[in-house]
Amino acid sequence: MSLARRTVLLLVLAPALPLAAQEASPPPVTPAAGFKALDANGDGVVSRYEYDGDVFSVLDADGDQRLSAAELDAVLGRLAKDGPSASERIVVADLDRDGKLDENELRDAAEMRFTSMDRDGDGNLDEAEFANGFGVRVR
C-alpha cells in the first residue's frame, strides 16, 4: 500500500494510537512524510482531491465490500499491547454498528477528518494544518 493511502487511513482510523515496533509492521508515518506523499502535484497543499484517495478497494482484501478488523490490522499492523484493538478503532467510523466499515462510512470519516484539519476553510491543507491535525483524535 502506498504511503499516501496509509497516511489517509492512519489519519481517519488511528490518530494518536501508538503502533507496536514489529518487523512485520510498516514503519509509522510522520506528519512530514504523510504530507509529502499526499501532495501529489507538489504545490505545497493537500487538496480534497488528493486526500480522497481510493483507500477502500485496496483494504478490502476479501472483496466483500466491508472493511474488517483483520483487514485493518493487515495494513496498519498491531497496536501496542495496551492500545485499542482494530475492532475498537473501527468503532470511530462504524455508523451502522455492524463491526465493519463500508465504503461510505470510511469516506464520511475521511471527509470529517479533512474538514476538521482545514482550519482556514479553503479546501486545502497546508503543511502546518496537516501537522497540527496529525495524530489528533476526532470525536
Nearest to 78 by CA among 9, 14, 12: 14
pLDDT in tens, the chain (139 residues): 677 766 776 666 654 344 444 445 556 668 888 888 889 899 999 999 888 777 788 788 899 999 998 888 777 665 555 666 777 778 888 999 999 999 999 889 889 889 999 999 999 999 999 999 886 665 5
CA dist 17 and 21 (Å) reads: 13
Predicted model pTM: 0.72
Residue carrying C-alpha cell 495494513: 75
In 86-122, which positions are buried (b, 16+ CB within 10 angstroms) versus exposed (e)?
beebbebbbeeeeebbbbebbbebbeebbeebbeeee
